[in-house]
Chains A and B, each alone.
Chain A
């Protein structure tokens, strides 16, 4: 686990790398999440000062977007598409299966910290649904059996 000094140093590097970028806040937040796996709350005043905005504004932006996490996710992140095209191919049933299998609801992480289950709205794989994003890799035509295999690989 990083201590606050490490966080401050790394955040400073990220802020420096984005100097001069027009409307830099989203790229900064993406970089921070890439570095830490989440956006540490203690980074927000530092970002706010750098971007010449209030801490409330920085917090407001960070929490507006579904992608940014305020705490780390599990080791593996399983995102299941919930959008209409995938629904027509059984995404709802697949989601129920995944929730039961993992004992999780959306946005929850298994107690061992290994798997986080999240909904996602459209991966553009609408002609080969139901679709999933498994640790950033796309998977199409996910059946309950295929999902079990994916989960097995994560455990």
Chain B
């Protein structure tokens, strides 16, 4: 009997290892022969650890499983959820990038291939580099790390750049709170990322790739490293990729706890063994990136979406989404939410639908106050703006960002001034120090917010002015976007900033 228990970090954090031990013991007690596969997560974090069992009708789900309840896997009970594929939360999604995540054994290239893997690369290997680049351009894929820059244009720049050595760098430094899509794909379907990187290499003429991951992701790094080893043995990486005669090598690098290294030029400096300080652009990394050579720097999800684009064609991918936001986006529903997890769907959903219907409202049961979209540098969106469709331009129009599509839900107990102060404090801790508006501005921001907290409302215009300076004067998104959470909190929740004054007056 085959049983799946995720090795995903969220499942582990909620007791998956203990459940594995209990299932083994229970099976032995019953004399049942079980084979346990450690899969990725299906993304329903509130049901983790989600155990699945093979049945004649398909995989049956049980969760959230505890070591005490494992008998229910064999006998049924309140934790039996029915067939996994029929679960409404999963069924309503459009899983393209995450099509295999949670389904296959993450380290089995055989299962990867059996579920549609490598089709994209096989097709790319029959095309010219320029044709592959054109396909990605036509798909409308934009950088999923947050900037939303068209991936195909980046690739074309590197493709057209002269140079003997070019590089593909995956930005897996997913430091934004509320985001875990990169982690999930690396833990649940690492070959998708590898395949995407090899396709990128073939397209632009690069023969070496790096994945820059985080030390905060020990589980993802373990799976990714093992997957690279398997890919080498099976000929997906090496001197002769899938017998094509083309070489591609790949190395996993791990950062060291610096948030700013998620910024692409800081990442490149870090990769080169330097302090993770931001570089001024130009020169663009596409022309002078790693070691001064033409380099594609893409987010994990951007690259992991490439195989499906090549597999089914650009038109198929572009048929999803709204306006200039083509394809699907893995929403990461997080924070104080009843049903949190990863939900891949075409662009265009409203926050109301995402938070209240899909997420089921807050975990605390209290009213939703605001949702921070796009990580620590994203705006806090009040309930009054919940009708905005999820898309790059739609959010920009609301003075917000979709970022890496992480959504942090906060209930009405959240103190928005404390959140604004935290944003400045975080920026002060994580600033690389290169530019003044960020390095000094963040420190002054904390001080100014403390003045406001003491009831000095005269400091509010000062804060606004400071945010304006940081926004227009910073070199990168850390200093440049920290004003988003601060100003959105101030604009939409002014009462949280003046309550002390009121109390003092009263």
Contacts and interface: CB of A to CB of B under 8 A. Distances in A.
Interface string A75-100: 00000000111111100000000000
A87 to B, nearest CB: 7
Contacts of B406: 85, 126
Nearest to A33: B256
B265 interface: no
Given A22-B291, A88-B410, A126 B256 contact: no
Contact of B10 (A22, A25, A86, A125): A125
Interface stretch (B171-179, B301-309, B387-395, B448-456): B171-179
Contacts of B337: 127
A54 B337 CA distance: 50
Nearest to B371: A88
Contacts of B87: none
Contact of A124 (B216, B255, B270, B340): B216
Interface in A21-59: 22-27, 29-30, 51
A127 B333 contact: yes
Interface stretch (B77-85, B111-119, B271-279): B271-279
Nearest to A79: B216
B10 A128 contact: yes
A65 to B, nearest CB: 3
B276 A65 contact: yes
B376 interface: yes
A60 interface: yes
A87 B9 contact: no
A144 interface: no
A66 B336 contact: no
B13 interface: yes
A29 B270 CA distance: 12
A88 B333 CA distance: 13
Contacts of B426: 121
Interface string B315-343: 00000000000000000111111001100
A128 B13 contact: yes
B422 interface: yes
B9 A88 contact: no
B273 A25 contact: yes
Contact of A122 (B10, B216, B218, B253): B216
Interface stretch (A9-17, A108-116, A135-143, A147-155): A135-143
B413 to A, nearest CB: 9
Contact of B335 (A65, A89, A121, A138): A89
Contact of A23 (B271, B332, B336): B271
Interface string B364-397: 0000000010011000000000000000000000
Given A84-B422, A124-B174, A129-B335, A26 B414 contact: no
B9 A65 contact: no
Interface residues of A, number: 41
A26 B183 contact: no
Contacts of A125: 9-10, 13, 180
Interface in B223-262: 253-259
Given A51-B273, A138-B12, A140-B10, A85 B256 contact: no
Contacts of A126: 177-180, 332, 334-335, 340, 406, 408
B217 A124 contact: yes
Nearest to B485: A84
B273 A127 contact: no
A64 B276 contact: yes
Contact of A127 (B176, B332, B372, B422): B332
In the complex, the 3 A-B pairs of residues with the closest C-beta atoms, listed nearest first = A127-B340, A25-B273, A140-B13
Given A26-B270, A126-B408, A128-B48, 19 more contacts: A22-B291, A23-B271, A23-B274, A25-B273, A30-B256, A64-B432, A65-B255, A68-B256, A84-B177, A84-B178, A84-B422, A88-B335, A88-B336, A88-B409, A122-B179, A126-B179, A127-B337, A131-B13, A138-B218
Interface of B: 9-10, 12-14, 45-46, 48, 174-180, 182-184, 215-220, 253-259, 270-277, 290-291, 332-337, 340-341, 363, 372, 375-376, 406, 408-411, 414, 419, 422, 426, 430, 432
29 contacts: A22-B291, A23-B273, A23-B274, A23-B291, A26-B253, A30-B215, A65-B256, A65-B258, A65-B276, A68-B256, A84-B178, A87-B422, A89-B335, A89-B363, A122-B177, A122-B179, A123-B216, A124-B180, A124-B182, A125-B13, A126-B178, A126-B179, A126-B180, A126-B335, A129-B335, A137-B12, A138-B9, A138-B10, A140-B13
